[in-house]
A = this chain, B = another copy of it.
Amino acid sequence: MRANRLREIWATGKPATNFWLGLPCMLSAEIVGHQGWDSLTVDMQHGHIGFESMVAMLTAISSTASVPLVRVPWNAPGDVMRALDAGSYGVICPNVDTREQCERFIGSCRYAPQGYRSVGPKRAVLYGGADYIAKANDTVLAIVQVESALGLKNVGEIASVKGLDMIYIGPTDLALSLGRDIRAGLADSVLMKAIDEILAATRNAGIRSGIYCRNADDAKAMFAKGFDLATVTSDDALLAAGAAVAAKFR
């Protein structure tokens, strides 16, 4: 089976870069796939990306060196399994607040006996290789987002669920849930304290940590803290900002 390059990067002690895809467009996904990112996330939650666009985007990414990840809209086993069958090498599940929710998600990512993922990979075999079923449990990444006050409270239990590979932080939702002004971003001290707690929980549990950033400075700071993966920007944000700047050329 094709190795998961994210696992390889981490094995060398380095953190990994991540780019966020929200446009339902296989061409833009392929373009970004050629720009040197360690991983790309096809965002089915807030991106306007339906099932078949997700599959098309994974197809486009398959001819690049970037590792394809999918964020599913919600913790629904059918959506998780379909993303994996289509060849995603990792799934990010939003809004996990409890150990039970985490277990349900992990189960949907793993074949028996570790979980209850149904057997029937299709593109996953084309991308991963003929031995996909035997090795998928050890290759694909199961990632949950802790991004609420309740999730923060339960982060130790969540982090300890067997089979979980990473906790990925959504700072905006977390800040809002903690009653903070989200416009402050990572500069908010209460938010940062929560982030530190989650990071510590991942270390205690021996799993990876990731976080959504909006610019390079924040990503660098998070790498300095010890995060294993940082998202730096997204296709729609780059396009909006770039087009706005260019429009003012006169």
- Chain A residues engaging chain B, CB cutoff 8 angstroms: 17, 19, 22-28, 30-32, 34-37, 45-53, 55-56, 59-60, 62-63, 72-74, 76-79, 81-82, 85-86, 94-95, 111-113, 116, 118-123, 126-127, 133, 147-148, 170, 172-173, 176-177, 179, 182, 216, 219-220, 223, 232-233, 235-236, 238-244, 246-250
Residue numbers in B under 8 Å from A111 (CB-CB): 176
Residue numbers in B under 8 Å from A173 (CB-CB): 112, 118-119
Q: How far is the CA of A235 from the CA of B216 in the complex (A)?
A: 21
Q: How far is the CA of A170 from the CA of B50 in the complex (A)?
A: 27
Q: Is the CB of A50 within 8 A of B48?
A: no
Q: How far is the CA of A236 from the CA of B24 in the complex (A)?
A: 14
Given A63-B127, A116-B177, A233-B243, 5 other A-B residues pairs in contact with their CB atoms under 8 A: A28-B235, A48-B52, A62-B63, A112-B177, A113-B177
Q: Is the CB of A24 within 8 A of B52?
A: yes
Instruction: Kindly report how many copies of this chain are found in the complex they form together.
Output: 6
Residue numbers in B under 8 Å from A52 (CB-CB): 24, 48-50, 53
Residue numbers in B under 8 Å from A182 (CB-CB): 119, 133
> Which among B60, B219, B239 is the interface contact of A31 at CB below 8 angstroms?
B239
